[in-house]
A and B are shown apart, each in its own frame.
Chain A
Amino acid sequence: MKRRVFLAASIATAALSIYNLRAGESEGVILEVTGNIEQTLRFTLPQLQALGVTKLATSTAWTEGTRQFEGVLARSVMAAAGPVKSDYVRAQALNDYEADIPLTDFADYDVILAWSMDGQMLSRRDKGPLWIVYPRDSLPHLREERFEHRWVWQLNRLFVP
């Protein structure tokens, strides 16, 4: 039952984003920050890049070897959203996956929303448009299992409850 409600909600969300695309006012938007904040923000890739480009070399639990990631610091994106009353954010993906991430993660670690891996832009056929990447090589405790569900890929929406 819950599942069906959830499904309906996600279809509605998808419909909403398609509506935005249709409206032509958000051509090329890859990330939406919405919820209990002053104003919903929509970012295109250049807009995200304008917040500062951060490079991060790390291994992941999905891939082999060390990969070069490029993206924007998650805390920069949250700072752009202004004051937030909640202490976590719900990251949502194109494949309807969602996970709650404590905002302290963004404050304490250099977590990035990566748009490229090894110089290759992430497409939505391959974990794009954005992938939440933790610096797990430099901070070994981030390798723990409880962090892995926060590595949301195909990220397109941050919802502040």
Chain B
Amino acid sequence: MKVPAGRGRETLAVALAVLAFVVLLGFAMYRLVQLERDNYASSGEGIIWALSQAQYEIQRLLLATTPGSFATADEIALRYDVLISRLNLLQEGPLAQRIAEAGRGNVAARAMADLLELEPLISSSGDQVERFSLRLARTMHQYLQPLGSIANELMIQNRVVDGQRRNSYNANIVQVIFSVIGIMATGAFLILRLMSSLGKSAAAEAQLRREKNFLNLLLVSSGEGIAAFDARLTCTHWNEGMSKLFGVRAEQSLGRSIAELDPTVSGQNLDDVLKGSPSYLAPELRGDGTYLERVLHPIRLNDEVTGGILIVRDVTERYDAQRERQLREVYRDFVTMVSHQFRTPLAVIDSTMHRMVRRGSKMDEAELVERAKTIRVSVSSLTRLIDATLTAERVDAGIFDLAMRPVDLEELIRSVCARYTELTPERRFQLDIRLGTALVCDALLIDQALSNLVGNAVKYSPEPAPVEIVAVDDGLAVTITVTDHGVGIPQPQQERVFDRFFRASTSTSIPGTGVGLYTARQIALLHGGDITLSSLEGQGSTFTLRLPHKIVPEMVRDAV
């Protein structure tokens, strides 16, 4: 494709060539018509011829009337009449005009008048020419020279005029020749342009055909399902891939509503497409265990949406692979976390035992009890860790067996904080606990959920910043809020933070599994409560865990 400036120049050149062609052709035609007109102007007989004939007839008459000639009266009359006719000719029409232009208009008239004056004498004399020959000769002789001189003058004039005419004729011819050369040049240019543009358009057409064939091939052979629909949402194209994915053949689907053919696509999606905005539908699980991902794209013609295109991809393999990878990560993280958390109590036990061995019998009863208590605390911590591990596994596997009993939440909160203080001594926790009666719940699960929230707050906020925990009981439910001053979560991602394996974009630099919040929320849901989030990116997050005193069965939402 040419750049617009180049095309504009080309168009201008062609327009100029056409204009030049027309102008030159018009000019050549005009010149030719002029030449033709010039050639047309003429008079009945040549003026020189007419003048010389008049002279000649005067002389013939004089010859016939010379004494001693054998002319008869009839012959003399004929010569007389012919001379009259010759003089008449010089006094009428174009010939008279030419003579008048030369300023000698009256010569023929005077000759005629003199001749007619002698007519009675001549006609009455018969063939006795002696009676008038001398007088006639004297009278008519004087006209021979003037007629000759008029002829002389007009001959020169004619030659000059002819010469001028020939010059202008030649000039015209030269102009016509140059015009024709110009016409040929512009014509050749236009023909070349025409041929090259014909060639170009043929090449463009061939290219278009190849592209179309290629697109058709793509459409047919693509593993993706591709369907097109018009502005009334009627299906107009349905490729092989679609037939395979939906088990509906093209001839069965063409002309039907696209929403009917693929019910997953909502009316809202279709409206958006017809308004011109494409949409993406995340992979969705189907009955047969496959995941289908959909893309809707508007089709535009001259800035107007005339329909849309639906592309359906079977992403099961990709999805499975991704999930597997995520699960592997989860387990790796889990192992890391567990081994890390196990190491602390084990180290405490080891060091205590080491001291006891070193001191041996020097140790008194009280110290022994103290040491043993330390070991027991570590052991119970290990037990709790094992329980938590199992819980996570339980939640993940969807196996639940709630152990509901009254739990002192204040103690639970403090123990969670104590655990994290042990892990990160620099961290400060600001507690504001105003709780009344104990809450009936599964202590292990709630401990797990709270641990996850506090753990997140610790993980995603810088070390000196405090983590604030507020717990209130309004009689109906206990509300525990955990607030940090960390990285926060971007607004668009907030509703997805509770999805399994989801990790916010602000958390990518920090290791994590993406299951913590999911597990916590599942636990809250199992207790008829919920976890909500409010966060500002860069300023921190507040998670609110709400647990009702009385579990209404309908309130328990389906976990998993």
A interface, CB within 8 angstroms of B: 14, 18, 21, 60-64, 94-95, 123-127, 143-145, 148-149, 151, 154
Contacts and interface: CB of A to CB of B under 8 A. Distances in A.
A145 B44 CA distance: 8
Interface residues of B, number: 22
Main secondary structure of the interface of B (DSSP, over half): helix
Given A62-B89, A95-B53, A95-B85, A124 B78 contact: yes
B93 A62 contact: yes
Contacts of A61: 42-45, 93-94
A41 to B, nearest CB: 22
B94 A14 contact: no
Interface in B21-49: 40, 42-45
B75 A60 contact: no
B66 to A, nearest CB: 15
Contact of B40 (A64, A143, A154): A143
B78 to A, nearest CB: 7
A148 B45 contact: yes
A33 to B, nearest CB: 20
The dominant DSSP class at the A interface is loop
Contacts of B42: 61, 145, 148
A154 B44 contact: no
B44 A124 contact: no
Nearest to A94: B82
A73 to B, nearest CB: 22
Given A124-B82, A125-B88, A126-B85, A62 B44 contact: yes
Nearest to B94: A61
A14 B75 contact: yes
Nearest to A15: B75
A144 B41 CA distance: 9
Given A95-B57, A148-B42, A125 B81 contact: yes
B474 interface: no
Contacts of B53: 95
Given A61-B44, A95-B53, A143-B40, A18 B72 contact: yes
B86 interface: yes
Contact of B88 (A14, A126, A143, A144): A126
A21 B492 CA distance: 135
B235 interface: no
Contacts of A145: 42
Contact of A63 (B45, B82, B84, B93): B93
B82 A18 contact: no
B260 interface: no
B202 to A, nearest CB: 49
A125 B44 contact: no
Contact of B81 (A14, A62, A124, A144): A124
Contacts of A148: 42, 44-45
Contacts of A95: 53, 57, 82, 85-86
14 contacts: A18-B75, A61-B45, A61-B94, A62-B92, A64-B92, A94-B81, A95-B82, A95-B85, A125-B81, A125-B84, A126-B85, A143-B40, A144-B40, A145-B42
| A18, A60, A62, A63 pick with most chain B CB within 10 angstroms | A62
A143 B37 CA distance: 12
